[in-house]
Structure 1
Amino acid sequence: MLPIHHHHHQNSNPIKKGKVNNIGKSSAEWRSRSIYQIITDRFSPSESGSGKSCPLLYTYCGGTFQGITSHLNYVKSLGFNAIWISPIVLNLPGGYHGYWAQDWFAVNPHFGTQADLINLVKTAHSMDIWVMVDVVFNHVGPVGFDFSEISPFNSSTHYHPYCQINNWSNQTEVEYCRLADLPDLDQSNNFVYKTLSNWITDFVLNTFGFDGIRIDTVPEISKTFWSDLKTNILAPKYGDIYSIGEVLNGDMNYVAPYANILGATLHYPMYFVLKSIFSQGGSMYQIRNTINSARSLVKDTSLLGVFIDNHDNPRFLNYESDYKLYQNALTYVLTSEGIPIFYYGTEQGFNGGADPFNREPLWPTSFNQNSYLFTFVQKIMNFRNTHFQEFLNNPLQVERYVANNFYAFSRGNVFVATTNVGSSYGRLQYTITYHPYSDGTVLCDIFWGNNDCETVTNGQFTVVLLNGESKIYYPQQ
């Protein structure tokens, strides 16, 4: 598809430098978004209300593009304005998750048709919900050496010579060998490079009009390729389209170079810290250290994807049953520096273990909007969306108080207090002297409203957390 050039500027967005069509939203634009992560096969079937559960979580359960489209109001009601969906290409049998590509230029028929997917994106856009698509450049589905099964990468010359990744500290091995025995594409091969380039532009982005991309298995491909993707393949057509890479590593020194090439990565270093703090009693000083380390190494930390759950790790409630600890982790994720990514089912208290048990079908919950965590998250997101300017104008958080069991920060006039003491702890109290408010300001907590306010007096105010709760304060209007 040729890009359309708009000459009537009153009808079009100003064209960004180097951008020749209206597909994709820039990194800076994505700062306005909060992302709800969907496993397409597990969100909703087309025949909504069929209510059939899914006994075998390692194969298809029946979720579709139509199913997502018909429940976008659920995502919107919860308060999210972007979704991330599974890879869309036709997979080998059993590839319900989307990561076993077989035909790169066809849509997975289990999820629906090309028209269904176009309709999903259009409907989402009409509701101001952006759509991020998961894309894989590293590997194809598990065909062993039967490359003729794969289209169009049907020759052994399209792949690196056979080896398996055994030593994760050997970067060459990580880039050249097979991850979980998935045939490893050779991006330095001219046919592979050109095909991947045409695939991401002409097929994925131009056909469906996605707003951003989530890139799978980033360390498994050379930094040279990622640099080419960003600068030579994407930039000429889509400018600085938001692309967030998966680098499953807790070491900021390892993650940062990828974040700086792609613009963003999933904030795995913070994920491991939040897990330590809220499920293992780790010190909350770790947040300070991780923020400082990220800021010193990453060009723009406000673009990192912050999360506490996803499809590759056991859900939080699987290893920590205390809801108050979970609520603190969620409070942090949904208000802190970075772009929040919220895994579907969290709002229904899902507690599945390792893959595939963390990929439960959502529809047996009947999309209940009155469940405990749904209403809790909705309260935070309604606040965030109402006061979006505070978050947009203050992309970085300012630490206001840190202790082993307490971490407080602000963004503009928003003050967030979190703790890891848990629900069995009575009263936790800290006096805040470093803050942005003038004397006489009345700060009210969003969870309790006007029943829970503190007045700033003599340059200070007191934060009281009962039974391990979290609080978000905002000046009384």
Structure 2
Amino acid sequence: MNPILSLSLLAVVAYVTGKNAEQWRHRTIYQIITDRFSQGTTSGNSCDLHNYCGGTFKGIENNLDYIQNMGFTAIWISPVVQNIEGGYHGYWANNFFKVNQHFGTEQDLKDLVSECHKRDIYVMVDIVLNHVGPIGTDFGQISDFNQESYYHSRCQVVDYNNQYQVEHCRLADLPDLNQENDFVSKKIMDSVVWLTNTFDIDGLRIDTIPFISKDFWAKFKKECLVGKLNDIYVVGEVLNGDIAYVAPYANILGATLNYPLYFSIKSSYGQRQSMYNIRSVLNAEPSQFKHVEHLGTFVDNHDNSRFLNDFPDVSNFKNALTFQLFSKGIPIVYYGSEQLFNGGADPYNRETLWNHFNTNSEMYNFFKILVAFRKAHIDEIVTSDHVERYISDEFYAFSRGKVFIATTNVGSSYARVQHDVTYHPYDEGTLLCDLFYPTDCVKIENGEFTVVLLHGESKVFYPKSLM
């Protein structure tokens, strides 16, 4: 082979990075606010949640056992680029080609990713392409984008139903990048390629998707994600419960966070409204989303008050998570859920995890059972449809292959929920056992079995012969 051609091919191979959506379907994601996870050990100091608290890349690396032992196979970390002071969350960039020094060095980030990959853990990084940090009109503070012409006007978004305003005005007075400008468009796409290739990133979460035009996202998908990054998996944030509004963005980029399902989860499992709300969303999504299975599902995240803040019954929280972990999509669990964190609106839902690395806690073991089982049976789960098996106002059951999930929203004070299930995927005589209590088993007799949920518990049944 021509040595020059050989070198060229090697360069191309080295340039390709990232994992695609089908690869990510086999993962369960643990979401981390980098500044709040660990200062380097399992202990640390208290802090002002409105500012930097001291979490680092090295802190995450040092505590990967804590994450991996629950069964998680991917992490999502905060935006890593340099920020205006005070941007502990990572969403106030002032240099898209440098690493935030508060989190560590470039080498620290490379070390974190390398250690994750040694453990077969994917790394997803949050990115922001809509805006920069709060600098008013002092554009000289922003590397590369140091001229007013690189931004839209100074108008503020006040009417979120006005799409032109959403795309062309400032969100929370954050200078709004003008992606119609060729220089801006190219530079922000270059920054994504730099980030992904320099640090061997596996996937991307993209902030504030609706604040940029669909035309740009189509260009970004074609020229950057497909053209330069091997169609790396991305999940975009469209904070809206309207399927018709969210789906077009997901269909361009490949996936978004499943906010329509999130709101129905909080309604049905939190507010204890009818489970038919869940069914309504599940039935509506396939006709509008090209790939429901690629959407990111969640019960909590950094943009919304925690479930337990709004609805403090832990049994309902467990039911919501049980449903989420087995429903169609790629599940994302927000850090601190395993320690029953219950913070309210931002920044109080971004608590520090240090001093709370309790691997014997009730919820840590809950995740250890469910996420580890999901990991062990992931091929069966992702290749099997979500099939509704029984529904009432207070009870929802479904299957993925031979996995049978039974949930309720009645809460811990309700003594007993009982239903006979006749629509199921099992042969006569099959013995089904609950993952949480393996001696709690029921047999298929005369084509049916009885599900009994005590004090608002959830159950996940699997044939004993396959366990």
TM over 0.5: yes
TM-score range, shorter chain: over 0.9
Q: Which amino acid aligns with 1:468?
A: G
Residue 22 of structure 1: CA displacement?
A: 4.2
Of 31, 48, 69, which residue of structure 2 is paired with 1:37?
Answer: 31
Of 459, 462, 467, which residue of structure 2 is paired with 1:471?
Answer: 459
Determine the structure 2 residue equivalent to 1:413.
402
Q: Which amino acid aligns with 1:411?
A: R
Residue 4 of structure 1: CA displacement?
A: 7.7
Determine the structure 2 residue equivalent to 1:137.
129
Secondary structure, aligned partner of 2:211: coil
Determine the structure 1 residue equivalent to 2:83.
91
Secondary structure, aligned partner of 1:265: coil
% identical aligned pairs: 56
Q: Does 2:226 align with 1:238?
A: no
Q: Does 2:179 align with 1:187?
A: yes
Gaps of 5+ in 1: 8-14
- CA distance 1:86–1:309, shift in 2 (3 Å): same
Gaps of 5+ in 2: 1-5
Determine the structure 1 residue equivalent to 2:3.
none
- 1:65–1:112 contact (8 Å) kept in structure 2: yes
Determine the structure 1 residue equivalent to 2:343.
352
Determine the structure 1 residue equivalent to 2:68.
76
Q: Which amino acid aligns with 2:270?
A: S
Q: Which amino acid aligns with 2:45?
A: K
Distance 1:268 1:95 in 2: 25
Determine the structure 2 residue equivalent to 1:439.
428
Matches within 5 A, 1:196-345: 196-201=188-193, 203-345=194-336
- 1:4–1:21 contact (8 Å) kept in structure 2: no
Of 364, 382, 392, which residue of structure 2 is paired with 1:403?
Answer: 392
Q: Does 2:8 align with 1:24?
A: no
Q: Which amino acid aligns with 1:193?
A: S
Q: Does 2:376 align with 1:386?
A: yes
Residue 5 of structure 1: CA displacement?
A: 6.4
Residue 438 of structure 1: CA displacement?
A: 0.8
Q: Greater shift after overlay, 455-464 or 124-133?
A: 455-464
Distance 2:242 2:371 in 1: 30
Distance 2:415 2:100 in 1: 52
Distance 2:454 2:111 in 1: 47
Residue 6 of structure 1: CA displacement?
A: 6.1
**Offset from partner CA, 1:356-390 (integer Å, 9 cap, x none):** 0000000121x110011111111111211121221
Q: Which amino acid aligns with 2:432?
A: L
**Offset from partner CA, 1:392-414 (integer Å, 9 cap, x none):** 322x3111111110111100000
* TM-score, normalization by structure 2: 0.96
Secondary structure, aligned partner of 2:440: strand
**Offset from partner CA, 1:35-84 (integer Å, 9 cap, x none):** 000000000013x1452122x10000000000001111111001100000
Of 45, 48, 51, which residue of structure 2 is paired with 1:52?
Answer: 45
**Offset from partner CA, 1:274-328 (integer Å, 9 cap, x none):** 1111221111011111011111100010111110100011111111111101110
Distance 1:137 1:69 in 2: 27
Residue 23 of structure 1: CA displacement?
A: 1.0
Of 97, 102, 105, which residue of structure 2 is paired with 1:110?
Answer: 102
* TM-score, normalization by structure 1: 0.94
Q: Which amino acid aligns with 1:422?
A: G
Residue 269 of structure 1: CA displacement?
A: 0.6
- 1:53–1:364 contact (8 Å) kept in structure 2: no
Distance 1:443 1:139 in 2: 52
**Offset from partner CA, 1:138-173 (integer Å, 9 cap, x none):** 000000111011111000000001100011111000
